[in-house]
Amino acid sequence: MTMLTGGTSGTTNIRRLIKRRFPLLAWLPSYNFQTFSQDFLAGITVALTEIPQGIAYAIVAGLPSQYGLYAGFMGCFMYFMLGSCKDINIGPTAIMALMIQPYVSSMGIAGGILITFLSGCLIFLCGLLHLGFIVEFFSYPVIAGFTTAAAFNIASSQIKSLLGIPGKSDTFLTAWISVFENIKKTRLADTLMGFFVIVFLVIAKEIRRYGSLKQRPEWTRKRYIIGVIIFMFSLASNAIAVMCCSVVAYIFKQYGQMPFKLTGEVRGGLPSFTLPPFSTNFNGTEFRFEDMMTEYGTVVIFCPLIAVLEHIAIAKAFSKGKSLDATQEMIALGVCNIMGSFVQSMPVTGSFTRTAVNNASGAKTPACSIITGIMVLVALGFLTSTFQYIPKSTLAGVIMVAMYYLCDFQAFILLWKSKKLDLIPLTATLVCCLFINLEYGILIGLAVNIVFVLYSSARPKIEIEEISPLYYLVKFKSGLHYTSAEYLREYILSMCTSPNSTVIIDGEYIGNIDATVAKSLNGLKDELQIRNQNIIFWNFKKTVINTCLGVNSDLGLNVKEESLEQIIAS
């Protein structure tokens, strides 16, 4: 009977594990037509944003336009199978495009595809090892500085396309230098169209608050319908802008004129399913696998790390209080990138913009992802001939508006009001990401942030109250670490100077100490004895006392468990 119970329990655990790793098995049995209709609407709406963004982000990465669509459909299909968050949309993002752009420039298309595979493998491995806690080391100031710098960088790279200026640039500085050097080559038609798109998208974004898919009690039916139309119009604004501008360009082409720079031919059809390239030849230079790894450098670590950071942050934002299985999300993201590399995808992660559209459109399950993926496939199969008429300035406008809303300007105000010192790591990250590169910028930002953390732990808040000329009460308002060992000893010695007095150390807020702090407390006792002063360890936890006794068993004589009044009275 026991064996049978054990076998049943084991089978149940396996089923739970399978459902956890394949979340669609949990919601698919209860799936119905009403849920499908809402997912279908959300999937179509997101696709209208993903298709122009996929083309635009591929251009940012330096890849042919269709590669952004390859990334979009495979990310959607795999997340449908493995994703646990109903709103998340997986696909190409501006930050991922910016991170791989230098390596596409140096190694060609293969440089973008291989980093997708490597990132996927690393993310998947981190998911299996439950290493999601790594993202907790990125503080809000560092993340805000990084995303704002990335947005500035990407927007700056699009200024030339917006103005119709020729040339190419890889960094924030070179982009603006190139703009000022070629400002006289500005094309009026491209500039007007680009700024028209920007104004249109900003207005569409701002009027969204006047529409809603939920009727309010005070609304008439007519007002509700108008609100829904405005809302849907706003959600599809990217696609509407791109389609309208493409129609304008097509009309000019029919009359033998072309005042706009166009995206050019986009290869249609599905990509071939093949292994990611582990070597390549680009511009006459042969790159073996080890050469490609050397070329990548630190991006092999930071590309997957930023992908996870972006994805988990978005998943948490839209989980709405529900528990988030970070391990499953990392596994899903890893598989999306691994499988994507087999269809020539660029790196993918969660997109905040498209996830917000998904949520606003009323997505109910991850099934909306497969609807979006199918729409992208339809675009690849039947609409690529029309993509060649998309003006570059239109895509530049789409990207620049998206980057404006990606900038975390509110972070500066928030930190100024709450803790001004946090502006230092934010500014350090922002400046270094802009003027060096993203990987080193975030490393420097982390280092600056860690310095502040270490300084804080090295200078704990200590309150010393002189109860009487013969007694001092020392209180620590935070834990003690080895970095503060020497400071606390010197501070207490300098503040508690009355001869023949007793120093009472209150250990209420000391949760744990290391051997360095224990040795410092032992040294403090010896130095106070030389000055004819006594020390008492009061209100200490047993684990802390045991650490002190491990350094010097005689410290047990200084431990008191009586009340403070009894200690003073004795």
Q: What is the pLDDT of residues 301-315, one digit of tens each?
A: 989 988 998 888 888
Residue with the bigger pLDDT between 406 and 295: it is 295
CA gap 314, 251 in Å, rounded: 40
Per-residue pLDDT at 212: 53
Give residues with Cβ within 8 angstroms of 249, minimum separation 6.
258, 260, 262, 389, 390, 391
Look at residue 223 in the predicted model and tell me its pLDDT: 67
Query: How many other C-beta atoms lie within 10 A of the C-beta of residue 53?
Result: 28
Q: How high is the pLDDT of residue 31?
A: 87
First to last CA, the chain: 65
What is the per-residue pLDDT for 222? Answer: 67
pLDDT-wise least confident of 123-132, 150-159, 169-178: 169-178
Average pLDDT over residues 234-256: 88
Round to whole Å and give the CA distance between 77 and 270: 14
Give the mean pLDDT of the chain. 86
The pLDDT value given to residue 342 = 94
How would DSSP label each residue in 22-47? Answer: STHHHHGGG--HHHHHHHHHHHHHHH
Q: Give the SS3 label for residue 90.
A: strand
Stretch (H or E) spanning 450: helix 438-458
Whole-angstrom distance, CA of residue 491 vs CA of residue 487: 6
Lowest mean pLDDT among 121-135, 208-222, 505-519: 208-222
Residue ranges of domains in the chain = 35-268+319-410, 417-457, 459-569
In this structure, the chain runs to a length of 570
Higher pLDDT, 362 or 484: 484
User: Could you identify the residue written with the tokens 């990138």?
Assistant: 337
Helices 33-61 and 237-254, packing angle to 10 deg: 60
Q: Is the pLDDT of residue 112 over 90?
A: yes
d(CA 369, CA 362): 13
| Weakest-pLDDT range from 214-223, 247-256, 430-439 | 214-223
For 523-537, write each residue's pLDDT tens digit. Answer: 999 999 999 999 999
pLDDT at 216 over 60: no
pLDDT over 70 at 21, yes or no: yes
pLDDT of residue 343: 92
Give the Cα separation of 372 and 39 in Å (integer).
10
- Let me know: does 537 contact 559? Beta carbons within 8 Å: yes
**Whole-number pLDDT of residue 3:** 46
With cut-offs at 50, 70 and 90, classify the pLDDT of residue 211: low
What integer is the mean pLDDT of 433-446?
Answer: 86
Structural element, H or E, at residue 285? strand 285-287
Tens of pLDDT along 358-416?
887 778 888 999 999 999 999 888 888 888 888 989 988 988 988 888 888 888 998 99
- Euclidean distance between CA atoms 198 and 394, whole angstroms: 8
Question: Distance between CA 195 and CA 187 in Å, rounded?
Answer: 12
3-state secondary structure (DSSP) of residue 350 = strand
Q: Does 1 or 10 have the greater pLDDT score?
A: 10
Q: What is the mean pLDDT of residues 444-467?
A: 87
Question: Which DSSP helix (H) or strand (E) runs through 146?
Answer: helix 140-157
Among residues 350, 417, 432, 421, the alpha carbon closest in space to that of 145 is found at 432
Per-residue confidence (pLDDT) for residue 2, from 0 to 100: 44
Q: What is the mean pLDDT of residues 228-232?
A: 74
Which range has the worst mean pLDDT, 108-117, 211-220, 412-421, 430-439?
211-220
AA letter at 117? F
| 92/351 Cα distance (integer angstroms) | 8
SS3 228: helix
What tens digit of pLDDT does each residue of 174-207 get? Answer: 888 888 888 888 999 999 999 999 999 998 888 7
Q: Is the pLDDT of residue 4 over 60?
A: no
Least confident residue range of 382-391, 485-494, 516-525: 382-391
Q: If 0-12 CB within 10 Å is exposed, 13-18 middle and 19+ buried, where does residue 388 land?
A: middle
pTM beyond 0.95, yes or no: no
Domain 459-569 CATH assignment equals 3.30.750.24: yes
Residues 196-224: what's their mean pLDDT? 72
Please give the distance of CA 94 from its chain centroid, rounded to a whole number.
Answer: 12
